């Protein structure tokens, strides 16, 4: 019954989304229909949420008469993985996607007060059109509630590799981020339909974009750390297509976040902001499509189904193509906003947007180039880190340099000489750059520049606070400062990783000692160990530096079902870096393959990512708090 | 209404993306990796017997005699089970088949042969896929047609299904 209830709720919600679409199309002429839009959006969100909860329940009780549960779960799984298993498969993740989409639509319908009603209704119409397509996809091509007759006695999903807390919560974080951007997309489409683009639109859009951006930042940072410790390759970003698929919406959302602030504060950059809002969610859909269709080869593999791929592609063509068509034909008639000088806050934000867009274009082209090349010339090739690093590295540094001055500039026009204020960070940059020659004469130029710029930016990011009463500084300003500081920290980590990492690769016998950086690592012994469904060889390593000794136990695991080998890296985080050890199978003659890395300051990469997200969260809270105060104060005045 | 051409640029880029992706969906990539050894001599190897009491397999066994089929299989491989009756049929038609058991244990191989039949004249054990790698094979099952002088003539990737039998027989004929 649970499955049937969920399915019925899903059909009802789909019907309501059709009603919502029709009502918002006919709304301008038929007031009775117009009044339906908001309650229908709310009911639709509630029904979809109900369907999702039903699926969650089925997974928790491992109801094997449901095909999806039987294929992806197992009664022996710990409950947390049964729980997370709900969205760890194609159908469940699509249901999660529409759930977030419709709940976001419901919240927008219920909470939004600033937007002109016409635009809100058009926006909800766009949101309903999005939801309708994904409902059709779920119900026609990937029903999560399909029964399996007869029910098997046990489920198939006990893949040990997928039992990892990081993997359980990494995808939904990204999904919430992607779908949060759908609201910005619908708002942009709604505004294009009514031609009402202005500060009110930007203020409505901002919390959604900010929230989505925070979640994407967290998701990408966590994903990067997960790849770092789980894959045992010692790298933190591989320019894998699936990584790029999450990075592209983030880049677009970052640009959007900055251009929204121009629209909200000054009414400028209308065309550009609308385009970014369309592009950000389009990139989310493109990313999801690339990931789910298996069109690009990647370390992430998902079940590939060409029929489903074509379905999503058709939706993509309809939504993105439709929105971009609206943009091309209508945005020219949107009223222009206020102008500004080149040297101004707006000017700096435009430059920020241009740089981010070029990085986005670079990643987009690099990700799809193998496909294009094969389509045109039949040649198979791959685009790797050398291309991505060479292009995005310098652009990121240019972006960081822009941050020295951008936040200090005034809106509209700035003739005040800022040179004295940015003298301090520039001096720090030059000093750090010079110091890098002393530290290591053989460092690469990009790493050297990265260290210099990161040091300077760490100082520059704090300048907006200089001369302010810190207790009265708005939370949003603190958020900006912390995010920008996070950028400095992350760049420092990436540069330090490139510049200072020491690597040793050797075949060692027990009793031998290897050197990596300042550490002496002794392979004490190699012992067999066993887990619930795996056996492993475990290296007992002791690493010493100065008088200090730490133990490391990397494992090479063999899972029996399905037969797989994984390397469990041993990673020890110290205040000044990480020691990273991987052991793999025996060589001839009693020797073991050992890979050792000493990675000074590498943790700064993820610390920086965390700071960037924290800054976004503070800005979100600050704006929300201010919004509430603004609502309450007039009431007090009348009391 | 002012029309600005550059507003259509995103639409054009997106149309290109759709074209490329649509092309890929209609022409799925050829994920199989052809061995570079087709047309060359079998590399040298000496594999121990995959199960006790049955003959082992060396490259020398492949250098002489008539054309034969070398089949890479494993007891843990499900498509290999589907392939087993077809190999039995080929054996019935007089084809010499040698096996290489990939990443397998002797007891498992014995159980596999008991349950699904034994079409193999000789079976070598390749517990760490070393010979498999040398052959340029990327998975199991996979089969190679080797001619009377030990030269690899043909590679079949994936299980040999009933509809593949005429092709494989024709390749054996050509190698003869």
SS (H, E, C) A175-191: HHHHHHHHHHHHHHHHH
Among the ranges given (A52-61, A487-496, A557-566), the one the predictor scored with the smallest mean pLDDT: A557-566
Query: Which residues 6+ apart lie within 8 Å of B2 measured at CB?
Result: A332, A333
pLDDT at residue A553 greater than cutoff 70: yes
Last residue of a domain, which of A110, A142, A157? Answer: A157
Q: What is the mean pLDDT of residues B72-94?
A: 89
Name which residue leads in pLDDT, A8 or A417. Answer: A8
Q: For residues A274 and A196, is the Cβ–Cβ distance under 8 A?
A: no
pLDDT at residue A637 greater than cutoff 80: no
Q: Is residue A336 part of a domain?
A: no
Q: What is the mean pLDDT of residues A171-196?
A: 90
Q: What is the mean pLDDT of residues A429-454?
A: 88
Name which residue leads in pLDDT, A517 or A299. Answer: A517
- Asked if A60 and A179 sit in the same domain, the reply is no
Question: Considering only CB atoms, which chain B residues are within 8 Å of A317?
Answer: 18
**Residue A507, beta-bridge partner list:** A593
Best of A324, A560, A588 to disrupt the B interface by mutation (most B CBs within 10 Å)? A324
Q: What is the mean pLDDT of residues A258-266?
A: 89
% of chain B beyond a pLDDT of 90 = 31
Asked if B76 is an interface residue toward chain A (Cβ–Cβ < 8 A), one would say: yes
Domain that holds residue A556: 502-600
Residue A446 to residues A247, A262, A440: CA-CA distances in angstroms? Answer: 21, 32, 13
Question: Which ranges in A340-406 belong to alpha helices (H)?
Answer: 345-377, 385-405
**Residue A527, beta-bridge partner list:** A538
pLDDT at residue A218 greater than cutoff 90: yes
A324 → closest Cβ in B14, B22, B76: B14
A521, burial (CB in 10 Å: exposed 0-12, middle 13-18, buried 19+): buried
Q: Is A531 helix (H, G, I), strand (E, B) or coil?
A: coil
CATH of the domain at B86: 3.40.30.10
- Asked if A493 and A508 sit in the same domain, the reply is no
pLDDT at residue A337 greater than cutoff 60: yes
Q: Is A595 helix (H, G, I), strand (E, B) or coil?
A: strand
Q: Is residue A127 part of a domain?
A: yes
Q: Is residue B89 part of a domain?
A: yes
- Asked if A590 and A495 sit in the same domain, the reply is no
The pLDDT of residue A127 is: 94
Name which residue leads in pLDDT, A71 or A560. Answer: A71
A313 → closest Cβ in B7, B22, B29: B22
Q: Do A328 and B76 make contact, defined as CB atoms within 8 angstroms? A: no
Q: Which residue has the tokens 């517990």?
A: B127
Q: Is residue B31 part of a domain?
A: no
Which tokens belong to A467?
A: 């001369």
The count of other CB atoms within 10 Å of the CB of residue B155 is 20
A279 → closest Cβ in B10, B23, B28: B10
Q: Is A577 helix (H, G, I), strand (E, B) or coil?
A: strand
The C-alpha atoms of residue A300 and residue A503 are separated, in whole angstroms, by 26
Q: Is residue A563 part of a domain?
A: yes
Q: Is residue A16 part of a domain?
A: yes
Q: Is residue B53 part of a domain?
A: yes
Query: Which residues 6+ apart lie within 8 Å of A387 measured at CB?
Result: A366
Q: For residues B124 and B101, is the Cβ–Cβ distance under 8 A?
A: yes
Among the ranges given (A28-32, A42-46, B29-33), the one the predictor scored with the smallest mean pLDDT: B29-33
Asked if B8 is an interface residue toward chain A (Cβ–Cβ < 8 A), one would say: yes
Cis peptide preceding B141, ω within 30 of 0: yes
Q: What is the pLDDT of residues A116-126, one digit of tens each?
A: 888 999 999 99
Asked if B3 is an interface residue toward chain A (Cβ–Cβ < 8 A), one would say: yes
The pLDDT of residue A161 is: 60
pLDDT at residue A635 greater than cutoff 60: no
Q: Is residue A68 part of a domain?
A: yes
The count of other CB atoms within 10 Å of the CB of residue A530 is 9
Query: Which residues 6+ apart lie within 8 Å of A563 measured at CB?
Result: B76, B103
Q: Return the CA Rg of chain A.
A: 27
Q: What is the pLDDT of residues A481-505, one digit of tens each?
A: 999 999 999 999 999 988 888 888 8
Asked if A332 is an interface residue toward chain B (Cβ–Cβ < 8 A), one would say: yes
- Asked if A291 and A374 sit in the same domain, the reply is yes
**pLDDT category, A299, cuts 50, 70, 90?**
low
Question: Considering only CB atoms, which chain A residues are within 8 Å of B17?
Answer: 286, 368
Domain that holds residue B89: 46-175
Q: Is residue A209 part of a domain?
A: yes
Q: Over chain A, what is the mean pLDDT?
A: 86
The pLDDT of residue A588 is: 63
Among candidates A277, A194, A200, which has minimal Cα distance to A27?
A: A194
Question: Considering only CB atoms, which chain A residues are within 8 Å of B77?
Answer: none
Q: Is residue B24 part of a domain?
A: no
- Asked if A54 and A134 sit in the same domain, the reply is yes
- Asked if A174 and A191 sit in the same domain, the reply is yes
First to last CA, chain A: 53
Among candidates A279, A85, A249, A259, which has minimal Cα distance to A175?
A: A249
Domain count, chain B: 1
Q: Is A599 helix (H, G, I), strand (E, B) or coil?
A: strand
* DSSP assignment letter at A61: T
The pLDDT of residue A437 is: 87
- Asked if A452 and A382 sit in the same domain, the reply is no
The pLDDT of residue A306 is: 67
- Asked if A153 and A58 sit in the same domain, the reply is yes
Q: What is the pLDDT of residues A282-291, one digit of tens each?
A: 999 888 787 7
Among the ranges given (A408-412, A425-429, A561-565), the one the predictor scored with the smallest mean pLDDT: A561-565
pLDDT at residue A199 greater than cutoff 50: yes
Q: What is the pLDDT of residues A597-618, one digit of tens each?
A: 999 999 999 999 999 999 999 9
Q: Do A306 and B25 make contact, defined as CB atoms within 8 angstroms? A: yes
Cis peptide preceding A562, ω within 30 of 0: yes
Q: Which long-range contacts (CB under 8 A, 24 or more apart) does A237-242 make?
A: A238/A299, A238/A385, A239/A366, A239/A383, A239/A384, A239/A385, A239/A388, A240/A298, A240/A299, A240/A300, A241/A290, A241/A291, A241/A296, A241/A297, A241/A298, A241/A367, A242/A290, A242/A291, A242/A298, A242/A299, A242/A300
Q: For residues B175 and B153, is the Cβ–Cβ distance under 8 A?
A: yes
Q: What is the pLDDT of residues A340-359, one digit of tens each?
A: 777 788 888 999 999 999 99
- Asked if A94 and A191 sit in the same domain, the reply is no
The C-alpha atoms of residue A502 and residue A518 are separated, in whole angstroms, by 9
- Closest residue on chain A to B10 (Cα): A324
Q: Which residue has the tokens 């370390």?
A: A299
Element at A598 (helix H, strand E): strand A592-600
- Asked if A81 and A185 sit in the same domain, the reply is no
Among candidates A535, A511, A531, A533, which has minimal Cα distance to A521?
A: A511
A88, burial (CB in 10 Å: exposed 0-12, middle 13-18, buried 19+): buried
Domain count, chain A: 4
Backbone angles phi, psi at A568, to 5 degrees: -95, 105
The C-alpha atoms of residue B19 and residue A499 are separated, in whole angstroms, by 42
Question: Which ranges in A468-565 belong to alpha helices (H)?
Answer: 475-500
pLDDT at residue B2 greater than cutoff 60: no
Measure in Å the smallest separation between the Cα of B144 and chain A Cα atoms: 25
Q: Is residue B35 part of a domain?
A: no
Q: Over chain B, what is the mean pLDDT?
A: 86
Buried b (16+ CB within 10 A) or exposed e, A441-477: eebeebbbbbbbbbbbbbbbbbbbeeeeeeeeeebbb
The C-alpha atoms of residue B140 and residue B126 are separated, in whole angstroms, by 12
Q: What is the pLDDT of residues A228-239, one digit of tens each?
A: 887 767 788 888
- Asked if A205 and A111 sit in the same domain, the reply is no
Last residue of a domain, which of A157, A176, A200? Answer: A157
A624, burial (CB in 10 Å: exposed 0-12, middle 13-18, buried 19+): middle
Measure in Å the smallest separation between the Cα of B75 and chain A Cα atoms: 12
Q: Do A372 and B20 make contact, defined as CB atoms within 8 angstroms? A: yes
Query: Which residues 6+ apart lie within 8 Å of B86 measured at CB?
Result: B159, B160, B161, B162, B164, B165
**pLDDT category, B62, cuts 50, 70, 90?**
confident
Q: Is residue B19 part of a domain?
A: no
Q: Do B14 and A282 make contact, defined as CB atoms within 8 angstroms? A: yes
Q: For residues A189 and A195, is the Cβ–Cβ distance under 8 A?
A: no
The pLDDT of residue A294 is: 66
Q: Is A515 helix (H, G, I), strand (E, B) or coil?
A: strand
Q: What is the pLDDT of residues A126-148, one digit of tens each?
A: 999 999 999 999 999 888 898 88
% of chain A beyond a pLDDT of 70 = 92
The count of other CB atoms within 10 Å of the CB of residue A345 is 21
A153, burial (CB in 10 Å: exposed 0-12, middle 13-18, buried 19+): exposed
Q: Do B10 and A278 make contact, defined as CB atoms within 8 angstroms? A: yes
Q: What is the pLDDT of residues A386-416, one digit of tens each?
A: 888 888 999 999 999 988 888 888 887 777 6
- Asked if A258 and A375 sit in the same domain, the reply is yes
Q: Which residue has the tokens 């530290």?
A: A439
Among the ranges given (A42-56, A147-161, A501-515), the one the predictor scored with the smallest mean pLDDT: A147-161
Q: What is the pLDDT of residues A61-72, one digit of tens each?
A: 888 888 888 888
Helices (H) and strands (E) in chain B, counts: 6, 7
Last residue of a domain, which of A362, A390, A412? Answer: A412
Q: Do A333 and B1 make contact, defined as CB atoms within 8 angstroms? A: yes
Q: What is the mean pLDDT of residues A515-523?
A: 91
Which tokens belong to B172?
A: 């054996």
Asked if B78 is an interface residue toward chain A (Cβ–Cβ < 8 A), one would say: no
Q: Do A372 and B11 make contact, defined as CB atoms within 8 angstroms? A: no
**pLDDT category, A310, cuts 50, 70, 90?**
confident
Q: For residues A132 and A21, is the Cβ–Cβ distance under 8 A?
A: yes
Q: Return the CA Rg of chain B.
A: 22
% of chain A beyond a pLDDT of 90 = 39
Q: For residues A80 and A36, is the Cβ–Cβ distance under 8 A?
A: no
Among candidates A548, A542, A536, which has minimal Cα distance to A583?
A: A536
Q: Which long-range contacts (CB under 8 A, 24 or more apart) does A78-81 make?
A: A78/A163, A80/A165, A80/A168, A81/A162, A81/A163, A81/A168
């Amino acid at each position: 019954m649970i499955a049937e209830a969920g399915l019925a709720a899903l059909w009802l919600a789909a019907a309501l989304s059709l009603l919502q679409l029709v009502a918002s199309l006919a709304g301008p002429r038929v007031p009775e229909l117009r009044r339906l839009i908001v309650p229908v959006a709310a009911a639709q969100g509630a029904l979809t949420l109900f369907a999702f909860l039903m699926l969650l329940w089925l997974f928790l009780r491992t109801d094997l008469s449901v095909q999806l549960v039987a294929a992806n779960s197992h009664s022996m799984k710990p409950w947390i993985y049964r729980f997370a298993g709900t969205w760890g498969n194609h159908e469940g993740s699509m249901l999660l996607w529409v759930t977030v989409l419709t709940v976001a639509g419901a919240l927008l319908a219920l909470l939004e007060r600033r937007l002109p009603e016409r635009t809100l209704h058009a926006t909800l119409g766009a949101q309903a059109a999005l939801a309708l397509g994904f409902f059709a996809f779920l119900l026609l091509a990937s029903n999560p509630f399909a029964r399996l007759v007869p029910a098997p006695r046990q489920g198939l999903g006990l893949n040990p590799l997928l039992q990892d807390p990081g993997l359980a919560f990494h995808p939904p974080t990204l999904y919430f981020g992607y779908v949060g951007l759908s609201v910005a997309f619908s708002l942009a489409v709604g505004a294009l339909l009514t031609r009402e683009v202005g500060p009110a639109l930007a203020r409505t859009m901002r919390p959604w974009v900010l929230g989505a951006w925070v979640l994407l930042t967290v998701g990408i940072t966590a994903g990067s750390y997960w790849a770092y410790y789980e894959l045992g390759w010692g790298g933190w970003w591989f320019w894998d297509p699936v990584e790029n698929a999450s990075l592209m919406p983030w880049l677009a959302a970052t640009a959007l976040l900055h251009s929204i602030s121009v629209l909200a504060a000054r009414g400028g950059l209308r065309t550009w902001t609308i385009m970014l809002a369309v592009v950000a969610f389009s990139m989310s859909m493109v990313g999801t499509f690339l990931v789910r269709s298996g069109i690009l080869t990647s370390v992430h593999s998902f079940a590939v189904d060409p029929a489903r791929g074509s379905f999503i592609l058709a939706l993509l063509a309809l939504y993105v193509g439709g929105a971009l068509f609206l943009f091309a034909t209508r945005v020219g008639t949107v009223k222009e906003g206020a102008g500004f000088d080149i040297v101004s806050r707006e000017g700096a934000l435009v430059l920020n947007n241009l740089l981010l867009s070029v990085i986005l274009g670079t990643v987009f082209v690099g990700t799809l180039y193998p496909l294009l090349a094969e389509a045109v010339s039949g040649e198979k090739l791959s685009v790797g880190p050398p291309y991505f690093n060479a292009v995005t590295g310098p652009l990121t540094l240019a972006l960081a340099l822009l941050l020295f001055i951008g936040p200090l500039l005034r809106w509209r026009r700035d003739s005040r000489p800022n040179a004295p204020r940015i003298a301090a960070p520039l001096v720090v940059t030059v000093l750090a750059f010079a110091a890098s020659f002393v530290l290591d004469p053989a460092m690469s130029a990009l790493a050297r520049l990265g260290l210099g710029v990161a040091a300077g930016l760490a100082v520059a990011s704090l300048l907006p606070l200089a001369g302010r009463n810190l207790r009265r500084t708005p939370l949003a300003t603190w958020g900006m400062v912390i995010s920008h500081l996070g950028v400095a920290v992350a760049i420092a980590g990436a540069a330090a990783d490139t510049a200072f990492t020491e690597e040793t690769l050797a075949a060692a016998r027990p009793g031998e000692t290897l050197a990596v950086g300042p550490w002496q690592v002794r392979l004490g012994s190699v012992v067999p160990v066993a887990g619930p469904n795996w056996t492993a060889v475990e290296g007992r390593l002791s690493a010493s530096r100065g008088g200090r000794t730490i133990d490391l136990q990397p494992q090479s695991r063999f899972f029996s079902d399905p037969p797989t080998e994984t390397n469990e890296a041993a990673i020890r985080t110290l205040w000044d870096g990480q020691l990273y050890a991987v052991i793999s199978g025996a060589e001839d003659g009693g020797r073991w393959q050992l890979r050792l890395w000493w990675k000074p300051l590498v943790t700064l990469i993820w610390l920086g990512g965390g700071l960037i997200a924290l800054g976004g969260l503070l800005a979100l809270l600050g704006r929300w708090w201010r919004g509430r105060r603004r609502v309450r104060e007039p009431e007090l005045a009348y009391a | 209404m002012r029309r600005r051409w550059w507003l259509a640029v995103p639409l054009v880029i997106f149309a290109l993306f759709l074209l490329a992706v649509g092309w890929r969906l209609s022409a799925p990539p050829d994920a199989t990796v052809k061995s570079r050894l087709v047309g060359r001599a079998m590399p040298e190897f000496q594999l121990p017997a995959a199960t006790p009491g049955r003959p082992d397999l060396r490259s020398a066994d492949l250098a002489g005699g008539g054309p034969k089929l070398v089949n890479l299989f494993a007891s843990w491989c499900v498509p290999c089970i589907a392939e087993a009756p077809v190999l039995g049929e080929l054996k019935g038609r007089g084809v010499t088949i040698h096996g290489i058991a990939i990443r397998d244990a002797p007891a498992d191989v014995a159980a596999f042969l008991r349950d699904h039949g034994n079409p193999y004249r000789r079976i070598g054990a390749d517990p760490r896929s070393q010979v498999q790698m040398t052959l340029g094979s990327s998975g199991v099952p996979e089969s190679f047609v080797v001619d009377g002088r030990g030269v690899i003539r043909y590679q079949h990737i994936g299980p040999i299904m009933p509809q593949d039998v005429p092709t494989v027989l024709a390749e054996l004929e050509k190698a003869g």
